[in-house]
């Protein structure tokens, strides 16, 4: 089978190098988000070495997990990545501008009317149902497009994908010279839990369906699946969150380098008396005279609201002068109140930056304190921050 056609230059020029900063100027921003592109490249190479001889692709959907799709793509191309996964067609278009020779798969699949756009940027849909497959076949017959597609088989997630029976029923198409299938894939449901019995069951089911698709490259593992061992690697792995510093092995040491550092500015220092309440709902009451740092970030910036601190349940933590301090009261849209009473007098001032994510407060810990996961923390990162992409390996402004 000939390789997929690449994007033409007609109507689609290669993008300029991505910017190194975005958002409001640093002095005007409530927060500064630093993204270490060197760490992303290092994480990619760590995973790539782990899966040899399989190919290591990269998932850059959701704006590169909140880290900047263009910047991340350019970095990963430089690190040797040649296959990218996105969720939506527009993301694929953005990747193509920086990776003219890459293979691009669109995970959310194909819908009628999008065929010309796939052809224009030489992206491949991941077909997720028999209906999509029929629509894709109709498009390729009418248009003559031979760019290829992936086929998603559901082995236990019960979300997207053809059933095992449906996949078996269409397997004979690989004997056709124009079958167009370039990748057979599935997705783990519980790979973050290495001892979960569904992992072995999914490997077994996928191995069985692969026998019907001999000669077609196969992919099962994303970030955590890579750490289940060679039996999960197949021909291609497609890490996402691990590239951006999320721990793919919860409960064990994180093998990935941290990628983001998020700091927010102190807008005011104030003293409140014992018995005063803080924030919406007045559900936190000072048990002593308390010094607060009011920080200029909130849930509008992607810092998850979650549950408010109470007297019985201390708040989430931030780093003030490298010391852990508790958030008190509710996280509001634009502001956070932090108890800095125990810091030495004069330690924190209006205009100082406190660390919301970074240093000893990794993204997974911050997410756990908020009752969520690192994936959500990253993809929620707001646009009001001053964003700074570094290639030095040093996180955060001096």
CATH tag, 53-244: 3.20.20.10
Q: Which CATH superfamily is domain 260-390 in?
A: Lyase, Ornithine Decarboxylase; Chain A, domain 1 (2.40.37.10)
Backbone angles phi, psi at 256, to 5 degrees: -100, 150
3-class DSSP state of 35:
strand
CB atoms within 10 A of CB 284: 25
CA gap 11, 158 in Å, rounded: 39
Report pLDDT for 313.
Answer: 62
CA gap 105, 160 in Å, rounded: 15
Report pLDDT for 79.
Answer: 96
* Residues facing residue 294 across a β-bridge: 268, 337
Report pLDDT for 14.
Answer: 60
Backbone angles phi, psi at 307, to 5 degrees: -85, 145
* Residues facing residue 278 across a β-bridge: 284
Give the active site residues: 61, 280
Q: What is the 3-state secondary structure (H, E, C) of 42-102?
A: HHHHHHHHHHCCCEECEECHHHHHCCCHHHHHHHHHHCCCCEEEECCHHHHHHHHHHCCCC
> Which residues does 225 contact at the CB level (< 8 Å), separation at least 6?
188, 191, 232, 237
DSSP codes joined into one string, 103-131? EEEETT---TT-HHHHHHHT-EEEE-SHH
Which long-range contacts link 94-98 to residues 24+ away (Cβ below 8 Å)?
94/15, 94/69, 94/70, 95/60, 95/69, 96/7, 96/12, 96/121, 96/122, 96/123, 97/12, 97/13, 97/14, 97/15, 97/70, 98/14, 98/15, 98/18, 98/70, 98/73, 98/74
Report pLDDT for 177.
Answer: 79
For CA atoms 391, 396, 397, 398, the dihedral sign is negative
DSSP code of 296? S
Sorted by where each begins, the domain ranges of the chain are 53-244, 260-390
| Strand pairing class (103-106; 58-59) | unpaired
pLDDT averaged over consecutive 10-residue blocks of the chain (398 residues)?
A: 38 71 92 97 97 98 97 96 97 97 97 94 97 94 92 96 96 89 97 96 97 96 97 97 97 96 97 96 94 96 77 78 94 96 95 96 94 93 93 50
CA gap 243, 247 in Å, rounded: 9
CA proximity to 307, closest of 335, 327, 286, 285: 327
CA proximity to 364, closest of 221, 195, 233, 224: 224
Half-sphere exposure of 144 (CA within 13 A, CB side): 0
CA gap 104, 81 in Å, rounded: 11
Q: Are 336 and 298 in contact (CB under 8 A)?
A: yes
Helix 89-98 and helix 69-78, axial crossing angle in degrees, nearest 10: 50
Question: What tokens does 394 get?
Answer: 């040093």
CA gap 342, 257 in Å, rounded: 31
Report pLDDT for 6.
Answer: 40
Report pLDDT for 311.
Answer: 56
CB atoms within 10 A of CB 391: 16
**What Å distances lie between residue 102 and 50, 78, 184, CA to CA?**
22, 12, 18
Omega prior to 53 cis, within 30 of 0: yes
CA proximity to 271, closest of 315, 321, 351, 337: 337
> Which residues does 60 contact at the CB level (< 8 Å), separation at least 6?
69, 72, 73, 76, 84, 85, 86, 91, 95, 240
């Amino acid at each position: 089978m000939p390789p997929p056609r690449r994007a033409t230059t007609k109507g689609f020029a290669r993008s300029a190098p991505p910017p190194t900063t975005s958002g409001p100027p640093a002095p005007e921003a409530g927060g500064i988000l630093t993204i270490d592109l060197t760490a992303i490249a290092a994480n990619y190479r760590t995973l790539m070495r782990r899966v040899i001889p399989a190919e290591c692709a990269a998932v850059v959907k959701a704006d590169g997990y909140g880290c900047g799709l263009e910047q991340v793509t350019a970095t990963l191309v430089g690190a040797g990545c040649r296959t990218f996964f996105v969720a939506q067609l527009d993301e694929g278009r953005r990747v193509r501008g920086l990776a003219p020779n890459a293979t691009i798969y669109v995970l959310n699949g194909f819908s009628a009317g999008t065929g010309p756009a796939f052809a224009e940027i030489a992206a491949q849909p991941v077909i997720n149902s028999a209906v999509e497959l029929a629509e894709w076949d109709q498009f390729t017959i009418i248009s003559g497009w031979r760019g290829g597609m992936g086929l998603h088989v559901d082995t236990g997630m019960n979300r997207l994908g053809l059933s095992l029976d449906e996949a078996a029923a269409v397997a004979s198409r690989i004997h056709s010279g124009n079958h167009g299938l370039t990748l057979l894939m599935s997705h783990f449901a519980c790979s973050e839990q290495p001892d979960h019995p569904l992992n072995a069951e999914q490997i077994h089911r996928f191995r069985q369906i692969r026998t019907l698709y001999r000669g077609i490259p196969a992919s099962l593992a994303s970030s955590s699946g890579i750490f289940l061992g060679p039996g999960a690697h197949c021909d291609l792995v497609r890490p996402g969150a691990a590239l951006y510093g999320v721990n793919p092995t919860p409960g064990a040491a994180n093998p990935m380098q941290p990628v983001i550092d998020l700091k927010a500015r102190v807008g005011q220092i104030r003293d409140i008396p014992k018995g005063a309440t803080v924030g919406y709902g007045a559900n936190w009451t000072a048990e002593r005279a308390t010094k607060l740092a009011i920080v200029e970030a909130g849930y509008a910036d992607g810092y998850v609201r979650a549950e408010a601190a109470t007297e019985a349940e201390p708040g989430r933590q931030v780093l003030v002068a490298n010391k852990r301090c508790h958030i008190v009261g509710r996280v509001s849209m634009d502001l956070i109140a932090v108890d800095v009473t125990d810091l030495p007098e004069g330690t924190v001032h209006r205009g100082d930056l406190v660390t919301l994510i970074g240093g000893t407060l990794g993204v997974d810990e911050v997410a756990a304190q908020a009752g969520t996961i690192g994936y959500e923390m990253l993809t929620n990162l707001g646009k009001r921050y001053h964003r700074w992409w570094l290639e030095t390996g040093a996180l955060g402004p001096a």
